[in-house]
Amino acid sequence: MDTLLISTNFFGYPQEIVKALAERGRSALWYDDRPASDTLTKALVRLSPRVIQRRSDEYFAKIFADAARHDIRDILVIKGEALSVYMIRRMRALFPKARLTLYFWDSYRNMPKGSADKVDLFDRAFSFDLEDVKTDPRLKYRPLFYIEQYADVGAVEQDIDLLFLGTAHSDRVTVLDKIARAMPPGYDFRKILFARSQMLHRIQNVVSAPYRRTDERDFIFSPIPKHEVQKLIGRAKIVLDIERDVQTGFTMRTIEMLGASRKLITTNPSIAKADFYHPQNQSYVDRDRPVIDPSFLDSPWLPQDPALLRSYSLSGWLDDMLG
């Protein structure tokens, strides 16, 4: 093993990174960046990291002991939410020959306090968030990536005009309700919302009018397998992206649509700054007062430069992480 990967288990993406590394002749150990993935642990790591720091430090000490049996030359930390400054220093001492790379696929505004304190302890640090890169010159800008399977969704019948597929968090249901009412008549708008908790979902149905207006059949309570997600995206002419309003970076869904050659409607105003932006392929809508242009719904995808698309693939992302 020559690479240590520490990352949240985010919809199977760490496994995809390990697989892509293997295709490059690299071998990787992967560990979650939190000592456990239950709701309480996630909340403590995010809101009260000191409460759980001892447990987290013991968790990473075991990881480092395991990794020390290998000739590690690259350590890639993605977010590293529970990884304390103390343990990063210890990691540096235990692996003096390794290059340490930090990647934030979240914004400072949505991560635990003190995340910025970790940057100087790494050889290189990247972020997907445009605003964070602008305000913190130590960070290099690097957007997210798409996995190769999205380039193979196939030329299937596109029977869905607009598709939203994502977790029912923050203000998404409210924004979806507004977009649904702004849609011109005669178009198929398909919504698939993953609700993490049935109890919370029932509460939202009581207190939230947008929840009550959303068809109950639009909610699911188990994640859809990745291959089914790719099939749904293959059937869509356009995919809707609703980012967290504390982020300026492009979501994974945004980048995946480049790989899939699918048009995008997004509530992220930063889309116009992207080097891949073309008004025929990507359209911004205000999350508070959305207006849906029928001409955008009707126009086809405009093919992009293959070299540009490759730079947004997982392979292109690894070029930057390991370059």
pLDDT (average), residues 248-267: 95
Tens digits of residue pLDDT in 43-61: 888 878 888 889 999 999 9
Say what the pLDDT of residue 176 is: 92
With respect to residue 226, please indicate whether it lies within any of the assigned structural domains. yes
Residue 279 lies in a domain: yes
Average pLDDT over residues 9-20: 91
Residue 144 pairs in a beta bridge with none
Q: Residues of the chain with pLDDT > 70: what percent?
A: 100
Q: Does one domain contain both 59 and 92?
A: yes
Domain boundary, last residue among 97, 118, 142? 142
Same domain flag for 121 and 183: no
Final residue in a domain of this structure, among 121, 142, 163 = 142
The pLDDT-based confidence of 103 (bands split at 50, 70, 90) is very high
pLDDT band for 245, please (50, 70, 90 cuts).
confident
User: Do 157 and 214 belong to one domain?
Assistant: yes
8 and 115 co-located in one domain: yes
Residues 180 and 273 in one domain: yes
Work out the percent of the chain whose per-residue pLDDT is above 90: 72
Please determine, for residue 164, whether its predicted confidence score (pLDDT) is greater than 80: yes
pLDDT in tens, 224-235: 888 899 999 999
What does the pLDDT look like over 66-90, one tens digit per residue? 999 999 999 999 999 999 999 999 9
Residue 163 within a domain = yes
Last residue of a domain, one of 142, 160, 180: 142
* One domain for residues 191 and 281: yes
Q: To the nearest whole number, what is the mean pLDDT of the chain?
A: 92
Structural domain count, the chain: 2
Structural domain boundaries, residue 35 = 3-142
Q: What is the pLDDT of residue 257?
A: 96
- Evaluate if pTM is beyond 0.85: yes
Does residue 143 or residue 11 have the better pLDDT?
143
Task: Indicate if 10 and 134 belong to the same structural domain.
Answer: yes
- For residue 247, what pLDDT is reported? 85
Convert the pLDDT of each residue in 144-154 to its tens digit: 999 988 887 76
What CATH number does residue 17 fall under?
3.40.50.2300
How high is the pLDDT of residue 198?
80
What is the model's pLDDT at position 36? Answer: 87
Query: For residue range 195-242, what is the model confidence (pLDDT) as tens digits?
Result: 877 888 788 877 788 878 888 888 888 888 888 999 999 999 999 999
Q: 44 with 185, same domain? A: no
Looking at the domain assignment, is residue 103 inside a domain? yes
241 & 194 share domain: yes
pLDDT at 197: 78
Query: Which of 244-268 are b and which e, b meaning 16 or more Cβ less than 10 Å from the residue's Cβ?
Result: beebbbbbbbbbbbbbbbbbbbbbb
For residue 143, pLDDT beyond 70: yes
Counted residue by residue, the chain has a size of 323
Cβ(147)–Cβ(318) below 8 Å: no
Same domain, 179 and 294: yes
Residue 96 lies in a domain: yes
Q: Residue 192's domain is classified under what CATH number?
A: 3.40.50
112 versus 122: which is more confidently predicted?
122
